A = this chain, B = another copy of it.
Amino acid sequence: MGTLGLGIAGLGTVGAGVVDVVKRHRDLLSCRCGRAIEITAVSARDRNRDRGVDLSGFRWADDASDLASDPEVDVVVELIGGEEGIALDLVETALKNGKHVVTANKALLAVHGTKLAELADSTGVHVGYEAAVAGGIPIIKALREGLAGNRISRVYGILNGTSNYIMTAMREDGWAFADVLAEAQRLGYAEADPTLDIGGGDAAHKLAIMASIAFRRPVDFDSVHVEGIQAITPMDIEFAQEFGYRIKLLGIAQETEHGIEQRVHPCMVPLSGPIAHVDGVFNAAVVEGDFVDATTYVGRGAGAGPTASAVMADVVDIARGTRLPMFNVSASELVASPAVSIDRRNGAYYIRLMVLDRPGVIADVSAVLRDENISLGSLIQRGRDPETQVPVVMTTHEAEEAAMRRALERIADLDSVTEAPMTIRIEEL
A residues apposed to B, CB below 8 Å: 17, 20-21, 25, 28-29, 31-32, 34, 130, 136-138, 141-142, 145-151, 216, 274, 277, 289-300, 305-306, 308-313, 315-317, 320-325, 328-330, 333
A289 contact set on B, CB distance < 8 A:
309
Known A138-B146, A145-B313, A148-B313: A305·B293 in contact at CB below 8 Å? yes
Which single residue of chain B is at the shortest CB-CB distance from A150?
B309
Contact A136 B292 (CB under 8 A): yes
Known A21-B291, A293-B136: A130·B146 in contact at CB below 8 Å? yes
Known A32-B148, A329-B32: A297·B300 in contact at CB below 8 Å? no
Q: How far is the CA of A241 from the CA of B20 in the complex (A)?
A: 43
Contact A145 B151 (CB under 8 A): no
Contact A292 B316 (CB under 8 A): no
A317 contact set on B, CB distance < 8 A:
145
A137 contact set on B, CB distance < 8 A:
295
Say which residue of B295, B300, B333 sits within 8 Å of A138 (CB atoms): B295
A330 contact set on B, CB distance < 8 A:
34
Given A141-B142, A291-B309, output 12 extra A-B contacts at Cβ < 8 Å: A20-B291, A25-B151, A130-B146, A138-B146, A145-B313, A150-B309, A289-B309, A292-B306, A295-B297, A297-B297, A297-B298, A321-B321
A185 to chain B, nearest CB (A): 23
Say which residue of B145, B147, B274 sits within 8 Å of A298 (CB atoms): B274
Contact A149 B316 (CB under 8 A): yes
Which single residue of chain B is at the shortest CB-CB distance from A152?
B28
Which single residue of chain B is at the shortest CB-CB distance from A31?
B329
Contact A298 B295 (CB under 8 A): yes
Contact A320 B309 (CB under 8 A): no
Contact A136 B291 (CB under 8 A): yes
Q: Which of A28, A136, A295 has the most CB of B within 10 A?
A: A295
Which single residue of chain B is at the shortest CB-CB distance from A324?
B320
Between A and B, 17 residue pairs with Cβ closer than 8 Å are A21-B291, A25-B151, A28-B151, A136-B295, A138-B145, A138-B147, A138-B295, A141-B145, A142-B146, A145-B145, A146-B313, A149-B311, A149-B315, A290-B305, A291-B305, A294-B300, A296-B298
Q: How far is the CA of A297 from the CA of B328 in the complex (A)?
A: 22
A393 to chain B, nearest CB (A): 27
Which single residue of chain B is at the shortest CB-CB distance from A284?
B296
Contact A299 B300 (CB under 8 A): no
Contact B142 A138 (CB under 8 A): yes
Q: Which 7 A-B pairs have the closest CB atoms?
A: A138-B146, A149-B312, A295-B299, A136-B292, A292-B309, A148-B316, A291-B309
Contact A299 B296 (CB under 8 A): yes
Q: How far is the CA of A28 from the CA of B289 in the complex (A)?
A: 13
Which single residue of chain B is at the shortest CB-CB distance from A276?
B277
Q: How far is the CA of A225 from the CA of B130 in the complex (A)?
A: 36
Which single residue of chain B is at the shortest CB-CB distance from A308?
B291
Contact A313 B147 (CB under 8 A): yes
Which single residue of chain B is at the shortest CB-CB distance from A295?
B299
A149 contact set on B, CB distance < 8 A:
21, 25, 29, 308-313, 315-316
A312 contact set on B, CB distance < 8 A:
148-150, 291
A28 contact set on B, CB distance < 8 A:
151
A31 contact set on B, CB distance < 8 A:
216, 329, 333
A141 contact set on B, CB distance < 8 A:
138, 141-142, 145-146
Q: How far is the CA of A294 from the CA of B303 in the complex (A)?
A: 13
A335 to chain B, nearest CB (A): 10
Contact A147 B309 (CB under 8 A): yes
A32 contact set on B, CB distance < 8 A:
148, 328-329
Which single residue of chain B is at the shortest CB-CB distance from A272?
B277
A213 to chain B, nearest CB (A): 10
A277 to chain B, nearest CB (A): 7
Q: Which of A25, A309, A311, A320 has the most CB of B within 10 A?
A: A309
Q: How far is the CA of A289 from the CA of B28 in the complex (A)?
A: 13
